[in-house]
Amino acid sequence: MPASPIRKLVPFADNAKKNGIKVFHLNIGQPDIKTPEIVIDAIKNINLNLIAYSPSQGYESYRNKLAIYYQNNQIDIEANDIMVTTGGSEALSIAIGSIADPDDEIIIPEPFYANYNGFAKQNAVNVVPIHSSIDNNFALPPIAEFEKLITPKTKAILYSNPGNPTGYVYSKDEISQLRDLALKYDIYIIADEVYREFIYGDTTHHSILHEEGMENHAIIIDSVSKRYSMCGARIGTFITKNKELMQVAMKFAQARLSPPTLGQIASEAAIETPKSYFEEVINEYKDRRDTLVAKLKEIEGVKVAEPKGAFYIIAELPVDNTDKFAQWLLEEFNDNNETVMVAPASGFYSTKGQGTRQIRMAYVLKKENLIRSAELLKLAIDQYGKV
């Protein structure tokens, strides 16, 4: 198992805090946004005297409401196309386990969410990376490049859209190209759409299930974690219209018995979250993105991939190695007893040597903290020494 680039520096951060240093956490996508009140109220008003298992597939009442949510997003699925999982994490792990045998391959545009590596490893499946570049904001690599990588062992292409860690939002055209490829080679598209709602500006989200003919070839990974700022509920969804695949996935679901009951009650309540909540949240993130991008661009030698969605930015820094630099930020650097924690981007690449000068930042903090974080980064780069 590879170590998580998001969490592996935690001991150094803990140490810094013990030494009285304030650490701005841009390393992890834990938003500071409040969970909708309707969710907290549902928990407080819980009407249970026995916290029992739910069905392995999740509560039917919840799946019914989820189906309506997707239909409202023009995604044509029914309650039985949905399996409730323990976070998007488990949905991913089950997806990979259900479609691939040990030694099979999954193609993933890199940089990608580092835990994809972990879930593949757990299932003894090999990740085949395909390079996307900071120079075009991590757009989809040319389809011809994908075709070069397809072998009889290729079972799927996996991507997140909007992208974590890239913030890129795939266009309808890019998704359509992937659809054609999947149908041509009879492989799956696993679309991690957990950031569906987090899109800034005019771009709209194009789901893999907006494409026609993908009934047997598409898997959507989803989660309540970011949408309703309730990461700790650990509720996600595995979605497919492929009945046979759902049956295989159900065996994995039965082995772990049931997704969390309390989290499901909270998530079912979350479906009724008023539109105004999202409008506020999206405005807040848009503002944060604009702020952080602008501040980063002011730092000499820093290259930024401008994100259109999610709440991550990849930046290339004028330092020798961001693994060393990120640790140094916690171990050696502070300004007025403050420092910043970022995720070294090498862990988001599976090709060795890639991303070693990049970092991922999550803009999940208030604007003033982001401004201060960028300032700290600037001071730190100067002190660490530019290359």
Report the nearest approach of a copy of itself to the CB of residue 35 (Å).
Answer: 5
Report the nearest approach of a copy of itself to the CB of residue 150 (Å).
Answer: 24
Q: Which of 13, 81, 93, 129 binds a copy of itself (CB under 8 A)?
A: 93
Tell me the per-residue interface mask from 232 to 251 with a copy of itself, x by CB under 8 A, - otherwise. Answer: xxx-------------x--x
Report the nearest approach of a copy of itself to the CB of residue 379 (Å).
Answer: 29
Q: Which of 64, 73, 80, 89 binds a copy of itself (CB under 8 A)?
A: 89
Task: Mention every residue, 6+ apart, whose C-beta is less than 8 A from residue 355.
Answer: 110, 111, 322, 344, 345, 346, 347, 348, 349
**Closest listed residue to residue 327, CA positions, set 9, 16, 8, 23:** 9
Task: Mention every residue, 6+ apart, whose C-beta is less than 8 A from residue 255.
Answer: none
Looking at the DSSP bridge assignments, the partners of residue 360 are 314, 343
Q: Which of 102, 173, 275, 368 binds a copy of itself (CB under 8 A)?
A: 102
Segment contacting a copy of itself (CB under 8 A): 146-154, 228-236, 280-288, 312-320? Answer: 228-236
Site for a copy of itself in 257-316 (CB under 8 A): 257-263, 266
Q: Give start and end residues of each alpha helix (H) in the chain.
A: 10-18, 37-44, 60-72, 87-99, 115-122, 143-149, 172-185, 243-255, 261-270, 275-297, 322-331, 367-384
Task: Mention every residue, 6+ apart, whose C-beta is less than 8 A from residue 135.
Answer: none
Report the nearest approach of a copy of itself to the CB of residue 37 (Å).
Answer: 8
Q: Which of 81, 90, 192, 222 binds a copy of itself (CB under 8 A)?
A: 90
In the complex with a copy of itself, the residue whose CB is nearer, 77 or 114, is 114
In the complex with a copy of itself, the residue whose CB is nearer, 60 or 147, is 60
| Distance set, CA 262 to CA 48, 51, 126, 265 (Å) | 10, 8, 35, 5
Which tokens belong to 89? 């994490």
The answer to whether 247 and 240 are in contact (CB under 8 A) is: no
Rg (Cα) of the chain, in Å, rounded? 21
Which tokens belong to 10? 């935690």
Report the nearest approach of a copy of itself to the CB of residue 7 (Å).
Answer: 5
When asked if residue 229 is in the footprint of a copy of itself (CB under 8 A), the reply is yes
The answer to whether 329 and 373 are in contact (CB under 8 A) is: no
Which tokens belong to 382? 């100067």
When asked if residue 188 is in the footprint of a copy of itself (CB under 8 A), the reply is no
Report the nearest approach of a copy of itself to the CB of residue 230 (Å).
Answer: 4
Site for a copy of itself in 3-62 (CB under 8 A): 3-4, 6-8, 10, 28, 30, 32-35, 39-40, 43-46, 48-56
Tell me the per-residue interface mask from 344 to 383 with a copy of itself, x by CB under 8 A, - otherwise. Answer: ----------------------------------------
When asked if residue 216 is in the footprint of a copy of itself (CB under 8 A), the reply is no
In the complex with a copy of itself, the residue whose CB is nearer, 260 or 344, is 260
Residue type (1 letter), 128: V
**Closest listed residue to residue 97, CA positions, set 71, 120, 129, 78:** 120
Kindly list the residues in this chain that would bind a copy of itself in the complex (CB under 8 A). Answer: 1-4, 6-8, 10, 28, 30, 32-35, 39-40, 43-46, 48-56, 86-87, 89-90, 93, 97, 102, 115, 118-119, 122-124, 229-234, 248, 251-252, 254-263, 266
